Amino acid sequence: MQREELERTHVALEISRDRYVDLYASAPVGYLSLSADGRIQDANLTVSALLGVERGRLRGRGFGNFVAPESVPRWVRLLSTVRADAERHSCDLLLRREDGATIDARLICQFSDSTDAEGAVRVVLTDVTEQKHAEAKVRTYVDLAPAALLVLDGQGRFVDGNPAALTLLGVDATTLRSMTIVDAVAPPGREEALRGLETLRATGRLEKDHQLLRPDGRRPWVAVRAVRIANDRYMAFCMDVTEQRQTLDALQASEQRFRDVAASTDVYIFEMDAKGVITFISEAVE
């Protein structure tokens, strides 16, 4: 009875092992086991297909041999970081296949103690080539957009901006990333800008006009339309409305002058529309 029980247990373990091996080998995501110095100890069929090398020929080869030259420094830093602690680390690398073609890959790595003295690095590898191409296409559209587009975090710090935004603010990309909305808005409106940020965080939307303060002293007016695009990330669409504001201010000033003149004269002044409805009367008419 004990022998039969052991045999049943052995068969169950073999079935479980075979199921694990099948799942590991056929998983749509690449799985790798590396030695501490970055040599491939094991890899599944997805990794074999991505790198264009038969699975059996991968064992013992340095993974760094498949890293494109421009990504080698990042790979060296990643491997060093992973070996330093047991935390999970990730990095995007450009990999070079056996046939010379390149793919964009995202690696999630974690150091794990193994039976050998060196230990091993467990790696999940995903092909993100299509995602990178899509991001590049979107970035091209954003860069060519005539409207100023700004990305900021929940603290009001600028994270990114397209060329139109840099032109509008009169700064370069490096300076932009060191700025907050308080730095960009003219002093009279800074408190209002901070209140607007609170509204944006609370509701995920904001529509407001602000006067900016550029490094060259110019103070353009912009219509800001902002929305939440991710956790702690917001995109602001900004349109220069300086001419419209100047026109509106001129009209308001002209209207005020007219009313001041009408209020200070004894001449009877009134206005009416095309239907004869009176729309304005001076104090003398009253």
Q: What is the pLDDT of residue 25?
A: 64
Q: Phi, psi at residue 197, to the nearest 5°?
A: -65, -40
Q: What is the pLDDT of residue 117?
A: 46
Residues paired with 224 in a beta bridge: 208, 238
Mean pLDDT across the stretch 127-148? 86
Give the confidence band of 227 by pLDDT, cuts at 50, 70, 90. Answer: very high
* Token code pair at residue 226: 């902002």
Mean pLDDT across the stretch 83-102? 91
Does residue 129 have a pLDDT over 60?
A: yes
Mean pLDDT across the stretch 142-162? 92
Q: What b/e string do you get for 65-104 counting C-beta neighbours within 10 Å, with b at 16 or more? A: ebbeeebeeebeebbeebbeeeeebebebbbbeeeeeebb
**With contact defined as beta carbons under 8 Å apart, do 66 and 75 qualify?**
no
Mean pLDDT across the stretch 44-51? 90
Q: What is the pLDDT of residue 6?
A: 78
Give the confidence band of 163 by pLDDT, cuts at 50, 70, 90. Answer: very high
User: Model-level pTM?
Assistant: 0.55
Does residue 16 or residue 36 have the better pLDDT? Answer: 36
Mean pLDDT across the stretch 141-167? 92
C-alpha closest to that of 75 among 65, 60, 84, 61: 65
Give the confidence band of 135 by pLDDT, cuts at 50, 70, 90. Answer: confident
Burial bucket for residue 253 (CB in 10 Å: 0-12, 13-18, 19+) = exposed
Helix spans in 70-208 (H)? 72-84, 129-144, 163-169, 173-176, 181-184, 190-203
Does residue 203 have a pLDDT over 80?
A: yes
Q: What is the pLDDT of residue 23?
A: 55
Q: What is the pLDDT of residue 263?
A: 78
Which one-letter amino acid corresponds to residue 259? Answer: R
Mean pLDDT across the stretch 156-184? 94
C-alpha closest to that of 151 among 136, 142, 161, 141: 161
DSSP SS3 for 172: coil
Burial bucket for residue 42 (CB in 10 Å: 0-12, 13-18, 19+) = middle
Does residue 249 have a pLDDT over 80?
A: no
Sorted by sequence, the CB contacts under 8 Å of residue 97 that are 6+ apart come out as 50, 51, 52, 66, 103
Does residue 67 have a pLDDT over 90?
A: yes
* Token code pair at residue 223: 């219509």
Sorted by sequence, the CB contacts under 8 Å of residue 48 that are 6+ apart come out as 54, 55, 58
Give the confidence band of 14 by pLDDT, cuts at 50, 70, 90. Answer: low
The whole-chain average pLDDT of the chain stands at 87
Mean pLDDT across the stretch 215-227? 94
Longest dimension (CA), the chain: 121
Mean pLDDT across the stretch 78-90? 89
Any idea what the Cα angle at residue 85 is, between residues 69 and 110, rounded to 5°?
Answer: 60
